[in-house]
Amino acid sequence: MDFEQTFLFVIEMIGTVAAAISGIRMAAAKQFDWFGAYSVGLVTAIGGGTLRDLLLGIPVFWMQSIWYLAVTLLSLGVVIVFRRILVHTRILFIFDTIGLALFVVIGIQKSIAADYSAWVAIIMGVVTGACGGVFRDILLNQEPLLFKKDLYATACLIGGLVYCGVIMLGGSVPLQGMACAVTVIIMRMLAVRYSWSLPVMKSHDQIN
């Protein structure tokens, strides 16, 4: 495994841990049992990537390695042991944002490696980053964060554009990934800090 492959594997594992912890902690808030919490964490961690691989027509990533199931199990243990720390909303936001950012990087990279064009890669980055959270929210019977007044998918989209921009400038794979992830994280934090959001669609009755 060369340096670039090692770099991508490491950020994928970090993203898996972050997303799984986010899902498990939210399941705990709904008083799910350990198996239920693990299931929600696993869906959060692999849901977006699974949809991406099905759309791209490539082997589903988590079926090629048991690492993802094992790392999610480890994340469950982390939440159980450090539940008093992870109860804070800000901590959950950090884990969710890190998972989002790193999965965007992985989604774009895998799409490019499969010889898809840049615009497809950006869309797959958004799918990889955001859809796991959508599946999580559906399982938890709550409105998906993706569809609320929040720069969630928009942050992924901008991060994807930055990724492709660094490619055009001749940047290395680690630089491409770092630039994309940092952009997504900064966009999410600024959006929450300053309440940035897209305009809300209103019905005819609401307009009148």
Q: What is the mean pLDDT of each run of 10 residues along the chain (208 residues)?
A: 82 94 92 96 97 97 96 96 80 89 96 95 96 94 79 92 96 94 95 84 65
Q: pTM of this prediction?
A: 0.91
Count of other CB atoms within 10 angstroms of residue 50:
20
pLDDT at 41: 97
pLDDT at 108: 97
pLDDT at 150: 67
pLDDT at 156: 94
Q: How far is CA 153 from CA 4, 122, 128, 188, 198, in A?
A: 26, 11, 10, 10, 11
CA-to-CA distance for 65 and 100, rounded, in angstroms? 21
Q: pLDDT by residue (tens digit) across 98-116?
A: 999 999 999 999 999 999 9
